[in-house]
């Protein structure tokens, strides 16, 4: 979740040590791919050849990434921080004068790209660079998922930092001259184009999926058509793929499993709440909206976040996940190698 801000500091990006975390939680760790689920037998087969039995199965295998704008620097997560560092070095040296940040068609969660653009603009101002920054997006307004009031405020942030905004436009590819070729309209001049990826599903034998390959679930996280099988995160059919929503899905799944064991717990909220911090402006903004089953905003609020607001210090908030990750020692993280 901190990948965008890590792109603007000198510290090496780090990843969590999953075997260490599993050991801390009293869980067994198997480093392998999930290949097959046999729901009738309540067994799964891994790429290592291992077969595991389950009483309850929680699937969270994520999604594959692919270039939504071929030829662009694809920013997925911490793995791409070193490549973005090189882009900033080129901007600092004057090699790069124009950077276009392109949201690919079909992308339901563009916020990281806005942060990269805003942080790049702030970096350029701080270093007195003459850097032209443009955001190109199919959206009708900035961060449209949060509603018109948030869009207006984000538009003001972009204007304050001289970031050009081009709405209702899809980037197709990067041309030979470096410009962004668009679906309808003239190319947009650029020295470098940065894009976030499109997500594609990873199908699992034995698990129902939509035509697109994503897994449909009910509000409790149960996989439709299966018993004691749950799914969370990017692999599900819910249209918005975002870490905080995935954490909420996990909370509901955990409640369902524990309740099935006869243990009384307080049910997590049934509402889907998108709560994020937008970095890069003159003041950090907290954007919040409730979403319906189709991923549409139903109630949005905006507030400024003070630096000392510890409750919202996490970039992505999860009721149980965030407090746990905030207390783990550095020994349970490791340097992340580019992929």
- For residue 221, CA distances in Å to 33, 270, 312 come to 21, 11, 25
Q: Which residues share a beta bridge with 44?
A: 37, 52
What pLDDT sits at residue 309? 47
CA distance 11 to 301: 34
Find the range with the poorest average confidence among 172-176, 254-258, 332-336. 332-336
What is the CATH code for 32-63+201-270?
A: 3.50.50.60
Distance CA 295, CA 168 (A): 19
The class of domain 3-9+65-199 in CATH terms is alpha beta
Percent of the chain with pLDDT over 90: 65
Q: List where CATH 3.50.50.60 sits in the chain.
A: 3-9+65-199, 32-63+201-270
**Model confidence band, residue 71 (pLDDT cutoffs 50, 70, 90):** very high
CB 303 within 8 A of CB 146: no
Token representation of residue 220:
């409790």
- Edge to edge, what strands does the sheet with 43-46 contain? 34-38, 43-46, 51-53
Is residue 245 a contact partner of residue 274, using CB atoms and an 8 Å limit? Answer: yes
Q: How many CB atoms lie within 10 A of CB 74?
A: 21
Angstrom distances, CA of residue 45 to CA of 18, 49, 213 = 20, 7, 20
Q: Could you give the percent of the chain with pLDDT greater than 70?
A: 93
Question: What's the pLDDT at 134?
Answer: 98
pTM of the model: 0.89
Q: Which residues contact 38 (CB under 8 A, 6 or more apart)?
A: 44, 45, 206
Report how far residue 7's alpha carbon sits from residue 73's, in angstroms, rounded to the nearest whole number. 13
pLDDT at 12: 64
Q: Is the pLDDT at 311 greater than 50, yes or no?
A: no
The three-point CA angle 277-163-160 to 5° equals 70
For range 71-80, the mean pLDDT: 93
Tokens for 292, please give them: 């319906």
């Amino acid at each position: 979740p901190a990948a965008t801000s890590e792109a603007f500091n000198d510290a090496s990006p780090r990843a969590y040590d999953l075997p260490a975390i599993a050991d801390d939680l009293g869980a067994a760790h198997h480093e392998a791919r999930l290949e097959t689920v046999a729901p009738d037998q309540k067994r799964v087969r891994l790429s290592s050849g291992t077969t595991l039995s389950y009483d309850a199965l929680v699937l969270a295998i994520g999604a594959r990434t692919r270039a939504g704008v071929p030829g662009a620097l694809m920013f997925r997560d911490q793995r791409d921080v070193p490549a973005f560092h090189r882009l900033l070095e080129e901007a600092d040296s004057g090699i790069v004068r124009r950077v276009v940040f392109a949201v690919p068609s079909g992308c339901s969660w563009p916020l990281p790209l806005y942060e990269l653009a805003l942080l790049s603009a702030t970096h350029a101002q701080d270093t007195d660079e003459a850097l032209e920054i443009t955001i190109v997006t199919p959206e009708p307004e900035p961060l449209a998922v949060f509603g018109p009031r948030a869009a207006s405020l984000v538009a003001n942030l972009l204007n304050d930092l001289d970031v050009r905004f081009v709405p209702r436009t899809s980037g197709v590819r990067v041309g030979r001259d470096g410009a962004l070729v668009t679906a309808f309209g003239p190319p947009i001049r650029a020295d470098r184009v940065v894009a976030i990826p499109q997500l594609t599903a990873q199908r699992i034998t034995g698990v129902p999926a939509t035509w697109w390959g994503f897994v449909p679930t009910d509000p409790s996280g149960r996989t439709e058509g299966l018993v004691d099988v749950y799914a969370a995160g990017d692999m599900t059919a819910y249209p918005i793929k975002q870490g905080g929503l995935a954490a909420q899905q996990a909370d509901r799944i955990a409640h369902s499993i524990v309740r099935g064991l006869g243990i009384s717990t307080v049910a997590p909220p049934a509402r889907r709440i998108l709560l994020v911090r937008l970095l890069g402006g003159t003041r950090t903004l907290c954007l919040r909206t409730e979403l319906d089953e189709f991923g549409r905003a139903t109630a949005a609020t905006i507030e400024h976040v003070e630096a000392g607001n510890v409750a919202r210090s996490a970039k992505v908030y999860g009721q149980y996940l965030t407090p746990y990750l905030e207390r783990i020692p550095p020994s349970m993280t490791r340097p992340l190698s580019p992929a």
